[in-house]
Structure 1
Amino acid sequence: MSFWMAWKMIWENKRRSLFSLCGVLMGITSIIVIFSLAEGGKELIKNDLSSLAENRIMIGGENLSVRDGKLLEDIPFVKYAFFPEARLDTGELILTGYSKKSLLAMGYPSNLKDREILLEEKTSKKLYGDADPSGEKIELGERKERYIIRDVYREKNPLESANDRETGITSLTSLERMAGLKRFSRVVVSFYEGEDGEKLAPVVISRLKKVHGGRGNYIVMENSGKYKKIEKIKKTLNIFLAAIGLVALIMGGLGISNLMAAMVRERTPHIGILRAMGAGKNFIMTTFLIEAAFISITGGIIGIIAGITGAKVIGKIIEIPPIFMGKHIFMTFVISALLGIAFGILPAKKAADMDTVEALRSS
């Protein structure tokens, strides 16, 4: 009986019920959009910050070679090592050489064979349009040596991606053979997360000196201080975005609660009529709570669908791919349902406890 009465009250007051439902829908939609775009934006910023500074040090020295890089990568706490000078302008594009470990760390194919290269995404579009260049042969250098394009990659470093020149990647050994690069003056050593680069720097330098028989002067040109600053910025950013999401959630919840409370208060005259017809307090309470729950849950479901759709559309426009987290969606739905019920209890109880004559007078 309560379900039928609640449905009848909703149906006979379609405009008011629709207005309340739209309020719930808009609140939930805004929360989903803000949370998903905030997560997507946070991920993009984290990736850009991580590419600008990692837990690494730069060591300068004499007669550094590819062999030194391999020896450094054999150290347990070293993630990878690369040489900033391992670059070659072939005329057609700028090739950078990386070791297997550094390629793996960047998420690129690490098993590049001799004369195999990776083309940067923008470079591929310039040279081959929308076609997949994998397997195509390209001539590079003054001697027009033939190289095979293994795959296409997307540059993750925002500084490198701003470069207008055509770029590519090859293995360090291939670049060494192609350019005749034998000696370098700098090597960048990246450590695993959680390691302290500044404390481990003397160990790395000691290893280099040992390999070179105690000869050579090796110094730390750049420490991991930048990495620590970036990590601090990332933590602050996480707190800031979490605060934005929390404020959005609170504002949406207040909007929902106000609408539901107003809806119940406006139905006070109906209470008098129902009481005069012999309806009990529990019946009135249950009827209004069912109505409030139906509107809040229906609005929550539609709001979630609208929020996901809206976030995808807005994400394409502002170029921020939204990230939808199950816990956010579930939490939003539960809150929409609980708020409708919670903020409907007190007004409904107050109306149910009213004297029949007083309730009828308010009509």
Structure 2
Amino acid sequence: MLSLKQSLRISLGSIGSSKLRSSLTTLGIVIGVAAVIANVSLGASFSEFFNDEIGAVGSNFIVITSQSTDVLFENQLELIRNTPGVAGVSPINQQMAQVRYFSTSRQIDIQGVNADYAEVANFRMDSGTFLDDNDQYMAVLGAEVAYEKFDRKISVNNPIDITFRREDGGVVTRKFTVKGIVQDPNTTFAQTGVEPEIRIFIPINIMNEILGVDYYGGFFVKAESFEAIGPTGDEIDKRLARSLGVPARDLENDDAKPYVLFDQLEILEQTNQLSAALTALLTSVALISLLVGSIGIMNIMLVTVAERTREIGLLKALGYTKNDILALFIIESMVVGLIGGILGTAAGIVAALVVNDYLELPNIFPAGQIVLGFTVAVIVGLVAGVYPANKAANMNPVDALRKE
């Protein structure tokens, strides 16, 4: 009876005797496994990238935006501030305004906010400090505004002139002193509309006073914890709807509300679904490569059986059983799959590293998925070798010895 060591030695000898054919067959498995590993890693890396991007524009945030003017007022601000689970809230108003620094003028998005905004939005200051609730004509600039928009770089304590257009058509210009400059968060995820690098932030009470309005365009809210985002958002939604006269039966109907509410969880869910769909699509294509590779293994094993017919007959004549012959060819097939799995796993990791580096993605390699891809390669070799091995094991030794 053939031992495992003998079977492995014979299998490796058979593979080595036809190096080119074995290499081409193994290549199919290598490509398939590499594609699976690389695609799974890319999917996980994209998911981590999206999570980091969303985290960079806010911490446990809930965003409420008005669908029209004269909807959200101080009453709604206090209502949200007193909602259980709320750690901070900033009202928001914004307008494109003419900003002048020395002789250069630019159109810049001006946002009126309060002191809580910096915490909700995860701001990090490049210099100076953010606004506090006692500030009057102070401004905080995004890094791009301060360093790139004007002919000269703007620094803390520099004065800038901002010209606003009121609803009645009047134009008002006020001088502001730069209190701080916000670091560029280096995020490309703009769904929340934060993007501090291209904005100027001023106290919202001053902005409303200049514009002659007493309403807000929306609220930027921070929940006490990540787990509290959903319940806190639901409670804010109920309270806002009630205060604005939205019937209880229309609470689930977004079209019936004069505002839009979304939170960090919803964005994460959307991006995770996108990442999962992308991973599933790419992995499906990779699995096709594995299928092609398994067909290649089956093909080479059938050819091997045909070429080694006399050898099979001799082994049987020497007393080797059907199970010995079956094990011999299955092991040979699994060795091809094993080699392909090892090389494919290494190639997949290298490919993922290169692509992640090019796309500036984090390197995420789910260990379970890598083990799964490697295991699939061995299983593919096993399954692909069953039919050829069974064919060899069932040969009549007399007929096999007569084979020319």
Query: What TM-score do you get using the length of structure 1 for normalisation?
Result: 0.70
Question: Is 1:58 the counterpart of 2:66 in the alignment?
Answer: yes
What secondary structure, in the 3-state scheme, does the structure 2 residue paired with 1:15 have? helix
Q: Report how far residue 158 of structure 1 moved.
A: 5.2
Question: Is 1:30 the counterpart of 2:32 in the alignment?
Answer: no
1:107-138 deviations in Å (ceiling 9; x for gaps): 43498465784635x5577379xxxx9x9636
Question: Is 1:280 the counterpart of 2:320 in the alignment?
Answer: yes
What secondary structure, in the 3-state scheme, does the structure 1 residue paired with 2:349 have? helix
1:165-201 deviations in Å (ceiling 9; x for gaps): 962465x65x656896684343336586434968754
**1:137 is matched with which residue: 156, 177, 180?**
156
Unaligned runs of 5+ in 1: 210-218
Partner of 2:239: 203
**Which residues in structure 2 correspond to 1:161-172 (within 5 Å)?**
167-168=198-199, 170=201
Partner of 1:270: 308
Q: Report how far residue 327 of structure 1 moved.
A: 2.9
Unaligned runs of 5+ in 2: 1-5, 102-107, 133-137, 162-174, 246-255
Whichever residue aligns with residue 179 of structure 2, its letter is: Y
Partner of 2:10: 5
Q: Tell me how far apart the structure 2 counterparts of residues 193 and 280 of structure 1 sit (CA, whole Å).
A: 69
1:193-233 deviations in Å (ceiling 9; x for gaps): 43496875452366799xxxxxxxxx952234999998997
Partner of 2:369: 328
Q: Tell me how far apart the structure 2 counterparts of residues 94 and 295 of structure 1 sit (CA, whole Å).
A: 62
1:247-281 deviations in Å (ceiling 9; x for gaps): 33541331232122112211113253144142624
Partner of 1:184: 215
Q: Report how far residue 70 of structure 1 moved.
A: 6.2
Partner of 2:396: 355
Question: Is 1:298 the counterpart of 2:335 in the alignment?
Answer: no
Q: Indicate conservation of the 8 Å contact 1:272/1:357, yes or no.
A: no
**Range with greater deviation from structure 2 (238-247 or 257-266):** 238-247
Whichever residue aligns with residue 230 of structure 2, its letter is: G
Q: Report how far residue 246 of structure 1 moved.
A: 5.3
Distance 1:49 1:167, change over 3 A: closer
Q: Indicate conservation of the 8 Å contact 2:159/2:176, yes or no.
A: yes
Q: Report how far residue 159 of structure 1 moved.
A: 8.5
Q: Tell me how far apart the structure 2 counterparts of residues 267 and 202 of structure 1 sit (CA, whole Å).
A: 72
What secondary structure, in the 3-state scheme, does the structure 1 residue paired with 2:329 have? helix
Whichever residue aligns with residue 30 of structure 2, its letter is: L
Q: Tell me how far apart the structure 2 counterparts of residues 144 and 225 of structure 1 sit (CA, whole Å).
A: 33
Q: Tell me how far apart the structure 1 counterparts of residues 403 and 207 of structure 2 sit (CA, whole Å).
A: 92
Q: Tell me how far apart the structure 2 counterparts of residues 179 and 225 of structure 1 sit (CA, whole Å).
A: 25
Whichever residue aligns with residue 266 of structure 1, its letter is: V
What secondary structure, in the 3-state scheme, does the structure 1 residue paired with 2:158 have? strand
Question: Is 1:247 the counterpart of 2:255 in the alignment?
Answer: no
**2:100 is matched with which residue: 91, 116, 122?**
91
Q: Tell me how far apart the structure 1 counterparts of residues 272 and 120 of structure 2 sit (CA, whole Å).
A: 23
Q: Report how far residue 145 of structure 1 moved.
A: 2.4
Partner of 1:119: 142
Partner of 2:23: 18
Q: Tell me how far apart the structure 2 counterparts of residues 327 and 138 of structure 1 sit (CA, whole Å).
A: 54
Q: Tell me how far apart the structure 1 counterparts of residues 345 and 51 of structure 2 sit (CA, whole Å).
A: 26
Partner of 2:190: 157
Whichever residue aligns with residue 355 of structure 1, its letter is: N
Q: Tell me how far apart the structure 2 counterparts of residues 183 and 104 of structure 1 sit (CA, whole Å).
A: 24
Distance 1:169 1:316, change over 3 A: farther
Q: Indicate conservation of the 8 Å contact 2:28/2:290, yes or no.
A: no
**Range with greater deviation from structure 2 (150-159 or 11-20):** 150-159
Distance 1:275 1:361, change over 3 A: closer
Distance 1:240 1:94, change over 3 A: closer
Paired positions, count: 342
Partner of 1:222: 259
Distance 1:176 1:272, change over 3 A: farther
Q: Indicate conservation of the 8 Å contact 1:83/1:184, yes or no.
A: no
What secondary structure, in the 3-state scheme, does the structure 2 residue paired with 1:301 have? helix
Partner of 2:169: none
1:56-79 deviations in Å (ceiling 9; x for gaps): 4537547935x9646623412557
